[in-house]
Amino acid sequence: MIDVNNFDSMQISLASPDKIREWSYGEVTKPETINYRTLKPEKEGLFCERIFGPTKDWECSCGKYKRIRYKGVKCDRCGVEVTRAKVRRERLGHIELAAPVSHVWYFKGIPSRMGLVLDMSPRSLEEVIYFASYVVIDGGTTPLENKQLLSEREYREYKLKYGNQFTAMMGAEAIQKLLERVDLEKEVTELKEELKTAQGQRRTRAIRRLDILDAFRHSGNRPSWMVMNTLPVIPPDLRPMVQLEGGRFATSDLNDLYRRVINRNNRLKRLIEINAPTIIVQNEKRMLQEAVDALIDNGRRGRPVVGPGNRPLKSLSHMLKGKQGRLRQNLLGKRVDYSGRSVIVVGPNLKMYQCGLPKEMAIELFKPFVMKELVERELAGNIKNAKRKIERQDDDVWKVLAEVIREHPVLLNRAPTLHRLGIQAFEPTLVEGRAIRLHPLVCEAYNADFDGDQMAVHVPLGQEAQAEARLLMLAAQNILNPKDGKPVVTPSQDMVLGNYYLTMEDAGRVGEGMMFSSVDEVRTAYQNGFVHLHTRIAVDPTALGDKPFTDSQKERLLVTTVGKIFFNEIMPVEFPYLNEPTQYNLEVATPDKFFVDRGVNVSDFIQEQPLVAPFKKKNLGNIIAEVFKRFHITQTSEMLDRMKNLGYSYSTRSGITVGIADITNLAVKKDILDAAHKKVDNITKQFRRGLITDEERYQNVISTWNEAKDNIQVALMESLDDRNPIFMMSDSGARGNISNFTQLAGMRGLMAAPNGRIMELPITSNFREGLSVLEMFISTHGARKGMTDTALKTADSGYLTRRLVDVAQDVIIRETDCGTDRGLTISAIKEGNEVIESLEERLVGRYAKRSIIHPETNEVIVKGNTMITEDDARRVTEAGVEEVTIRSVFTCNTRHGVCKHCYGRNLATGSDVEVGEAVGIIAAQSIGEPGTQLTMRTFHTGGVAGDDITQGLPRIQEIFEARNPKGRAIITEVAGDITSIEENPSDRSKDVTVQGKTDTRTYTVPYTSRLKVSVGDSVHRGMPLTEGSIDPKELLRVRDVLSVETYLLREVQKVYRMQGVEIGDKHVEVMVRQMLRKVRVMDPGATEILPGTLMDIADFTEKNMATLRMGDTPATARPVLLGITKASLETNSFLSAASFQETTRVLTDAAIRGKRDELLGLKENVIIGKIIPAGTGMSRYRRMKPEVLSNKTNGVYSIADGEYEATNEDDLTIYE
């Protein structure tokens, strides 16, 4: 038997009239739908049961045959086949048209496909099709030319003059005749000849015609099929008619449109039969043409057909298009059963891998599982009884439910799902109430808070789905963020504050200098009040377990605090004892300075030691990353849970609160403000005397007030007690920052006006004193702008993510090594003298292209083609190496994807990337997800000649869409030296002259733009002469592809790093490579390719290799930089492109070309309901047979006893 799901590709093409009749189950001849009295479909109407199948399962229309036993019988009375009613979703009918009708997509699309084939203008075509002019089909012996248009009058004159010596017709029939006469082979040969000499517009038109004619020639489609003689009628269940209460009917718009077509078609048949006057018949034919146009694409030509309430009717094209269309609404995203949603509340006592599921939700979600279990345990006789038991909520049910959900993970999702951590798996535990409980540490990944957020729950049903959820999606497994490889589960708020308070040190606290021999002694002393948490004490290092102390350290005493001993208890045993928040202590060992010889007076030693800073949020993040690096992910999750509990416990005990008394008044504030007012008065006086311009006055006033605010901020920080609760909150990183505190206790400062210009009037009050009415009003501008910006930004950022996903969705790790001989040379990314991304950061997790040699000792630091670890990267930078050549996505040779070595480490797991990983989607999410954090508008840089530098989200869009940048830099096309810079006061410009070896160029630069070069500087090709952004298209023309790729990568990184967002280089590389994978053919050589064709580099190379093997001339092409939208639409997959944008255009083109979709990407497979070809869905994995092994495995969660532990003798299905 053939497996319907097992096919390799999908093709789309034009349907011939015969094909349409072959698909059809009968002709629809009547416009009736259903009989309103009997509610039965009318015979031969749009819902006819004889054509489309029965409305009830296994029952014919008249009721003679009922039951499944008559399966396949055709009733002799009503002619309906006895079968399932769902055939009404798949059986087509047809309408035999009384006159041929043109298909609006092919006639009206841009460019008009019919116009190109016939070499006629769309305007002339329209006149012929809609019966305004005649077209000459055959001039015969007359001077009339073929395809010449004749008006009604001219036609009559020529008819009188020449009689039947020529043929001219109007309507789609005429066009059909002309299309039938097109000799593809002859036309193609003629056009190829013409191309050899043609120039300019003629050449462009010839190439476009050749492209279309060639497509028809190769696809097997006939041009005349663009005109239809038969119209298919889609199955009735796809255009349903339903009865509303009150006896009225609601019907799909398509039924109305079909009805108009049938009515006009029947009227036309009758007019032709009775030999009506030509003008009446022509009018009816035109109306039929318009009715079919409206059915296929309403509103494409002329005014749309409207229904009740002047609403345009939705045609077949509208059913496919847009967010609500078939492709995006039903095929790319579907509603699923076994799901629920509810409000979330915090579950501080949950483990990392658990969530709390409300009982009534759980019983509904797991109903089938519980029913099966009830029957198997003989607690219910059959499924019906089991169902009743559940509805009655018997006691047995809860016991069974608790066992069913054990070990059965559920997925929790919070909208918007910006990256893959927006859906994670948890072990459910039953909770009372109606709210889902969520572990506080996963909030950051979900961007969730507990102010009324809702989350959706989904149940993975199959064994494979459950295994995947447990092994890949369990929250305890997703500790690192895929975008930068840093922990995403860092403690926040109370947890940070608690650990900060716990690790603080105080001088002179009760019990200072006491010595202890064990941790238990310390705990007892603390519980009985002999020592405080912050007391510095001495303890025997050997009492702290197997911490990695040196032998000399073990002979001495460790000086630490009570809190730090408790803090270190949560760490894995072999981890260094953390006594100060430094990298050395974290990565190497506890520093020697904290150890005191036995016999020395400990109190004196302690008093000489400075106080050590407590552990802040950033330090906690570093600790988590280090634990993850050294230990198994399971131990990291356990440690995180312990850190969370400790933080909550001690933030509660610390009693830190916020009161109005914590906001102190600043005594020096008045003096600072008085001085500022005085300075502003002086500046105004200078302006009145004409010593400075208005713009200078404005700049000086602004800088005066900013300075005053800064001074107040500094004074405030100095006057603050470091035990001030608000200070502790901001210093630890738990909540708030210094500028919030300045607004509370210092001054609010300057505000921006609605137009973005900063107002000169500052708000000198703070929130503690209260604002005056005027100050309050001034500050509303900023608040409102903040709100609107956020709303706009979210939509913009979401759309950017959608385009990014679309362009990179088919990039998958396809092989281990592509064997490329090229690499990418990288160095630190700098902006001026500031390092934006260091070389060390860029090296970690990448493969070296060739061995990295120490410049002085010549030893090999990293071998070629091996992964660079954190330690390797540090050694490279310490050796003073500034440039390294690595394997990069840019230079990867793998077709339709990337290889493991060019990609490097998977940032989400910290280990090598697996074959089958969908790195394109990960890259798109990693770039799109922080998009909402970027700023919206352009900034004005200071100064009179302030040039606008686009930053933030608009700049990212500008880069990825390959637009001409705002504030464009002028680049040099020759390498050489700057010989002169001359000013032209007349046209306000400067001339910069670059002298190269063979060529001297002069560039005219606007007066206002700032030069980056001076006389005598050496420049290379593509180097900017002025400040601003380089246009990547220009750079591509002047330099090479790799320079453009490197430039785009650096630019994207600059924007994100400026906003404090870190993204791995490789994600940007994946996106940029997708923008540069096409070439435009300039000269086809001896190949079959048309000049001007856009094609994939891989396909182009393949064709050229074949030509070279034959000994012929290869084609030449130049690389093209496409924006992501354009690149998505140029993809080889028509399904992916059609579901992205411009659906009708993509499908029109694909049908003419008879395109095949090889189903390589993810979207295409989702659309047709196949498993995606990534991860375990790759064909190489799908072909494996599972075998059951009894195997010891470590680190797989068994949550049977509610604790983490590695399962032992479990039977595991291993895919070999």
Per-residue pLDDT tens digits for 682-717? 999 999 999 999 999 999 999 999 999 999 999 988
pLDDT category of residue 1 using cuts at 50, 70 and 90 = very low
Judged against a pLDDT cut of 60, whether residue 938 lies above it is answered with no
Name the residue with tokens 């535990």.
429
Determine what percent of the chain is predicted with pLDDT higher than 70: 96
- Of 555, 556, 576, residue with least CA distance to 564: 576
Per-residue pLDDT tens digits for 269-324? 999 999 999 999 999 999 999 999 999 999 998 899 998 899 999 999 999 988 88
Q: Are strands 134-138 and 149-150 parallel, antiparallel or unpaired?
A: antiparallel
- Of 131, 132, 146, residue with least CA distance to 100: 131
Per-residue pLDDT tens digits for 21-51? 999 999 999 999 999 888 899 999 999 999 9
pLDDT at 774: 93
pLDDT at 396: 86
Q: Which residues contact 648 (CB under 8 A, 6 or more apart)?
A: 348, 494, 495, 498
Higher pLDDT, 937 or 975: 975
Mean pLDDT, residues 484-501 taken together: 92
**Segment among 270-274, 573-577, 747-751, 936-940 with least mean pLDDT:** 936-940
Name the residue with tokens 């489609």.
221
Length of the chain: 1216
Name the residue with tokens 């060639």.
214
pLDDT at 229: 95
pLDDT at 947: 45
The DSSP secondary-structure symbol of 65 reads: S
Q: State which of 65-69, 152-156, 1090-1094, 1160-1164 shows the largest mean pLDDT.
A: 152-156
pLDDT at 1213: 40
Q: Please say whether the beta carbons of 243 and 249 come within 8 A.
A: yes
pLDDT at 546: 84
**Segment among 255-259, 782-786, 896-900 with least mean pLDDT:** 782-786
Concatenate the DSSP letters of all residues of 101-156 into one string.
EE-HHHHHSSS-HHHHHHT--HHHHHHHHTTSSEEEEE-TTSSPPTT-EE-HHHHH
Q: Please say whether the beta carbons of 566 and 554 come within 8 A.
A: no
pLDDT at 450: 93
Q: What is the 3-state secondary structure (H, E, C) of 746-776?
A: CCCECCECCCCCECCCCECCCCCCCCCHHHH
- Of 544, 772, 501, residue with least CA distance to 654: 501
Q: What are phi and psi of 559, to 5 degrees?
A: -95, 120
Judged against a pLDDT cut of 60, whether residue 933 lies above it is answered with yes
Name beta bridge partners: 1215.
1186
Average pLDDT, the chain: 89
The CA distances from residue 1132 to 15, 811, 1160, 1197, in Å, are 22, 13, 9, 42
pLDDT category of residue 81 using cuts at 50, 70 and 90 = very high
Judged against a pLDDT cut of 50, whether residue 985 lies above it is answered with yes
Per-residue pLDDT tens digits for 1059-1076? 888 999 999 999 999 999
In this prediction the pTM is: 0.87
Cα–Cα distance, 348 to 442 (Å, whole number): 11
Per-residue pLDDT tens digits for 1152-1209? 999 999 888 899 988 888 888 888 888 777 777 766 655 544 444 444 434 444 333 3
The DSSP secondary-structure symbol of 1039 reads: S
- Structural tokens at position 202: 């003629």
**Angle at CA 1044, nearest 5°, toward 1040 and 1050?**
145
- Of 100, 91, 106, residue with least CA distance to 17: 100
pLDDT at 791: 84
- Of 550, 553, 522, residue with least CA distance to 537: 522
Q: Please say whether the beta carbons of 477 and 633 come within 8 A.
A: yes
Other CB atoms within 10 Å distance of the CB of residue 499? 31
Q: What domains can you pick out in the chain, each with its CATH number?
A: 31-91 (no CATH), 97-227 (no CATH), 339-366+408-477 (2.40.40.20), 494-653 (1.10.274.100), 660-785 (1.10.132.30), 823-915 (no CATH), 933-1073 (2.40.50.100), 1186-1215 (no CATH)
Per-residue pLDDT tens digits for 216-248? 999 989 999 999 999 999 999 999 999 888 888
pLDDT at 1211: 40
Determine what percent of the chain is predicted with pLDDT higher than 90: 64
pLDDT at 1189: 58
Cα–Cα distance, 1107 to 1210 (Å, whole number): 58
Q: Which residues contact 519 (CB under 8 A, 6 or more apart)?
A: 539, 543, 544, 565, 569
pLDDT at 547: 87
- Structural tokens at position 555: 């002979």
pLDDT at 4: 66
Q: Which residues contact 1086 (CB under 8 A, 6 or more apart)?
A: 1107, 1110, 1112, 1113, 1114
**Segment among 77-86, 826-835, 942-951 with least mean pLDDT:** 942-951
Q: What are phi and psi of 48, to 5 degrees?
A: -50, 130
Judging by beta carbons within 10 Å of its beta carbon (0-12, 13-18, 19+), is residue 188 exposed, middle or buried? middle
Name the residue with tokens 């073990």.
554
Cα–Cα distance, 770 to 780 (Å, whole number): 15
Q: Which residues contact 551 (CB under 8 A, 6 or more apart)?
A: none
Cα–Cα distance, 872 to 851 (Å, whole number): 12
